Amino acid sequence: MKTVLITGCSSGYGLETARYFHSRGWTVIATMRRPVAGLFPDSNRIRVLALDVTDPDSIADGIAAAGAIDVLVNNAGIGVVGAFEATPIAMIRDVFDTNVFGTLAMTQAVIPQMRERRSGTIINVTSSVCLASMPLAAAYTGSKTAVEGFTGSLAHELGAFGVRVKLVEPGYGPTTRFAENGTERVNGLIPPAYADFARPIFEAFAQPQATTQPLDVAKQVWRAAHDESDQLHFPAGADAVALAGPQ
């Protein structure tokens, strides 16, 4: 029986991915900063652990408690939407701390056991902002693009030890708590000088459109976890697939 550890499981993509793997017989270690009761069925194949990807001690404790991990899914992330000019550097550092350094720290923590076993898969969840440039998302895009570059390089580095590294790239998912968090961080980040530019963009995103659902992401994470080819990119959701083009 294989074990997957997933970060950011309190809602959205992480929660659905944890449920998806459990429903298919895997042991799931669902991590989140503040554990929430009642998210999963009672099962000896689901463990909920407190883990903050920005806290080295929390990471060390979580990895020690998890034991052997066959697949790591770096899903935890935060967003920010707004004019880059108006985005405080402290806020940008928070975004990079979770999205980039959190992913790097979690990955570094599991590499030794996977390298020694010469098996395992690391899956980093990024975004369709890496597939096409989008306005009012410069800081967030910077963080996710950093993860994409890191992942591509690491795939070569760890491939020599039988460890696979993959990217899952979700499209626009307004139904997730991540989107709500991003909306909270837009307050004050659209100064008057940008109002005319930003208005039609937000109006367009408010219209019905093809969007990515949590199950779309869960299915692509599952696919990436089982893929033994050299494929690196796994776009998730109809909009992301359209942006990515033929694979």
Contacts for 86 with CB less than 8 Å, ≥ 6 apart: 188, 189, 190, 191, 194
- Going by pLDDT thresholds of 50, 70 and 90, the confidence category of residue 246 is confident
Angle at 113 between CA 125 and CA 154, to 5 degrees: 45
Q: Quickly count: other Cβ atoms within 10 Å of residue 137's Cβ.
A: 20
Reading the block at residue 92, the tokens are 């940008």
Rounded percentage of the chain residues whose pLDDT exceeds 90? 86
* pLDDT (tens digit per residue) in 61-89: 999 999 999 999 999 999 999 999 999 99
* Residues known to be catalytic: 140
- Going by pLDDT thresholds of 50, 70 and 90, the confidence category of residue 109 is very high
* pLDDT (tens digit per residue) in 16-55: 999 999 999 999 999 999 999 899 999 999 999 999 999 9
Q: Which residue has the tokens 């942006």?
A: 243
Contact 53, 201 (CB under 8 A): no
pLDDT at 187: 58
Mean pLDDT of the chain: 93
Give the chain's end-to-end CA distance (angstroms, integer): 31
User: CATH assignment of 3-242?
Assistant: 3.40.50.720
Name the residue ranges covered by the structural domains of the chain.
3-242
